[in-house]
Amino acid sequence: MEKSSLGFLHRYLPAPAGQDASRAYTLLLLHGTGGDEHDLLDLGRMLDPGAALLSPRGKVLEHGMPRFFRRLAEGVFDIDDLKQRTYELADFITAASKTYGFDAHRVIAVGFSNGANIAGSLLLLRPGLLAGAALLHPMVPFVPQVIPDLAGTPVFVGAGRHDSIAPPPETERLVALLESAHVQLTLQWLPGGHSLSHEEVRAVREWLRQSF
Ligand code: MLT
């Protein structure tokens, strides 16, 4: 279903009929720069054919390319905009759960690049909103003054050893930040750069299966 209501253009695909409701969760799919609400639907279905999928389009345009928040340059974020957009996205998730009737406590973000960065920001600014998050090629969104307690929240980080946009030292800073918030971290190093690979998709699928 394509919708422009609830503040974000988005797609919502309910879990297929016959799913075990006690195990059901919703994957919140967050695309990278230049993507849209359609981009990650196939990935979501690959990760878990039984999950509901909620996929918004980022509202910021950079030279016509949708993003979830503004940046001042490559890797330099407009932190005020990031925080405001993070709260907007959080409100969208809550509103969508009421509209579509999915469990707001069983939402797992799957974000790539810019989408991973706003997913990281959601973890930091709205602890407890996400049941978990797969951050694929993420950066540190910002360092909060007070580190939230995310004890027990499963978080997957997929990082490329040759990623020039989110290079290994950036991943290590993010991992240290997430560990200081006590998340249940799964870190997967990949041989490639700033793109998704089959190996990464398999690793996320396995992480989902074991964690939820
Ligand atoms: C960002 O701006 O969020 C990161 O630089 C990743 C990207 O979208 O290129």
For CA atoms 98, 104, 109, 115, give the dihedral sign: positive
Mean pLDDT across the stretch 21-40?
92
Residues 6+ apart with CB under 8 A from 70: 60, 62, 77, 78, 81, 82
Max distance between CA atoms of the chain, in angstroms, equals 47
Residue 25 has what pLDDT? 96
Q: Which strands make up the sheet holding 10-13, listed edge to edge?
A: 2-3, 10-13, 52-56, 26-30, 107-112, 132-136, 154-160, 184-190
Q: How far away, in angstroms, is 19 Cα from ligand 1 center? A: 35
What are residue 2's DSSP bridge partners? 11
Residue 94 has what pLDDT? 97
Distance CA 81, CA 60 (A): 10
| Residue 4 pLDDT class (50, 70, 90 cuts) | low
Beta strand residue intervals within 26-85, DSSP E: 26-30, 52-56, 60-62, 65-67, 71-73, 76-77
Question: Pick the catalytic residue: 36, 78, 182, 194?
Answer: 194
pLDDT tens digits for range 111-131: 999 999 999 999 999 999 999
Strands 65-67 and 60-62: antiparallel
63: left (phi over 0), alpha (psi -120 to 50) or beta: left
Q: Which of 14-23, 106-115, 142-151, 173-182 is predicted with the least confidence, judged by mean pLDDT?
A: 14-23
pLDDT tens digits for range 51-105: 999 999 999 999 999 999 999 999 999 999 999 999 999 999 999 999 999 999 9
Question: Is-catalytic flag, 163?
Answer: yes
Residue 22 has what pLDDT? 63
Collapsing DSSP to helix, strand or coil, 21 comes out as helix
Residue 14 has what pLDDT? 94
DSSP 68: S
Collapsing DSSP to helix, strand or coil, 62 comes out as strand
| Residue closest by Cα to atom 3 of ligand 1 | 114
pLDDT tens digits for range 127-154: 999 999 999 999 999 999 999 999 999 9
Residue 16 has what pLDDT? 87
Q: Is the CB of 139 under 6 A from ligand 1?
A: yes
Q: Is the CB of 71 under 6 A from ligand 1?
A: yes
Q: Is the CB of 75 under 6 A from ligand 1?
A: yes
Task: Give the count of beta carbons closer than 10 Å to the beta carbon of residue 175.
Answer: 18
Q: Is the CB of 190 under 6 A from ligand 1?
A: no
